[in-house]
Amino acid sequence: MTDKVKVATVSLAGCFGCHMSLLDIDERIVQLAGRVEFIRSPLTDIKRCTDCDIGLIEGGVCNSENVHTLREFRKHCRILVAVGACAINGGLPNYRNYVPLEECLGESYLDGIGVENPHIPNDPELPLLLDKVYPVHEVVKIDYFLPGCPPAADVFWKFLTDSLEGRDPSLPYELIHYD
Amino acid sequence: MTKTITIDGKTIPFEEGQTIMEAAAAAGVYIPHLCHHPEYAPHGSCKLCSVTVNGRSCTACTFPALEGQEILNDTKELNDSRRRITQMLFVEGNHLCPGCEKSGNCQLQAVGYYLNMLDNHFLHFFQPRELDASHPDVLVDRNRCIFCTLCVRASHRDGKDVFAISGRGINKRLIFNSESGLLKDTDLDVNDQAAHICPTGAILIKRTGFTVPIGERLFDDKTIAETSLDYERGDHDG
Ligand code: SF4
Ligand code: SF4
Ligand code: FES
CB spacing of A98 vs B128 below 8 angstroms: yes
Chain A and chain B share a number of CB contacts under 8 A equal to 71
User: Using CB atoms, which residue from B99, B117, B221 is nearest to A92?
Assistant: B99
Q: Which of B102, B203, B205, B237 to mutate to test the pocket of ligand 2 (most atoms within 8 A of CB)?
A: B203
Chosen from B30, B94, B96 to mutate, greatest number of chain A CBs within 10 A: B96
The number of the ligand nearest the C-alpha atom of B93 reads 1
Residue B206: closest CA among B152, B138, B125, B159: B138
How is B46-100 classified by DSSP, letter by letter? S-TTEEEETTEEEETTTSBP-TT-EEE-S-HHHHHHHHHHHHHHHHHTT--GGG-
CB atoms A178 and B120 under 8 Å: no
Measured in Å, residue A123 CA sits from the centre of ligand 1 at 39
Per DSSP (E only), the strands in A67-161 are: 77-83, 129-134, 144-146
Pocket of ligand 1 (CB under 6 A): A 178; B 95-97, 100, 102-103, 106, 108-109, 144, 200-201
% of chain B exceeding 90 in pLDDT: 93
In a 3-state reduction of DSSP, which class is residue A88?
helix
The answer to whether residues B231 and B199 touch, using CB atoms and an 8 Å cutoff, is no
Ligand 2: residues with CB < 6 A are B 145-151, 163, 174, 197-198, 200, 202-203
* pLDDT on residue B170: 84
From chain A, pick out residues whose CB is under 8 angstroms from the CB of B144: none
Atom of ligand 1 nearest to the CA of B104: 7
What values do phi and psi take at A13, rounded to 5? -80, 80
Nearest to B126 by CA among A67, A134, A85: A134
- pLDDT tens-digit series, residues B163-186: 999 999 888 999 999 999 999 999
HSE of B139 in the Cβ direction (CA atoms, 13 Å)?
18
Alpha carbon nearest to ligand 2 atom 4, residue: B151
Dump pLDDT digits (tens) for A87-117: 999 999 999 999 999 999 999 999 989 999 9
The structure's pTM equals 0.95
Contact A70, A12 (CB under 8 A): yes
Q: Is B52 exposed, middle or buried (0-12, 13-18, 19+ CB in 10 A)?
A: middle
Chain centroid offset of residue A108 CA: 24
Kindly report the average pLDDT of chain B as a whole number: 96
- What would the pLDDT profile of B37-57 be if each residue is shown by its tens digit? 999 999 999 999 999 999 999
- Kindly report, residue by residue over B10-41, the tens digit of the pLDDT: 999 999 999 999 999 999 999 999 999 999 99
Residue-wise burial string across A54-72, b where 16 or more C-beta atoms lie within 10 A, e elsewhere: bbbbbbbbbbeebbebbeb
Ligand nearest to the CA of B36: 3
B64 upstream amide cis, omega within 30 of 0: no
| End-to-end Cα distance, chain B | 44
Q: Does residue B1 surpass a pLDDT of 80?
A: no
Return d(Cα A135, Cα A94) in angstroms, integer: 9
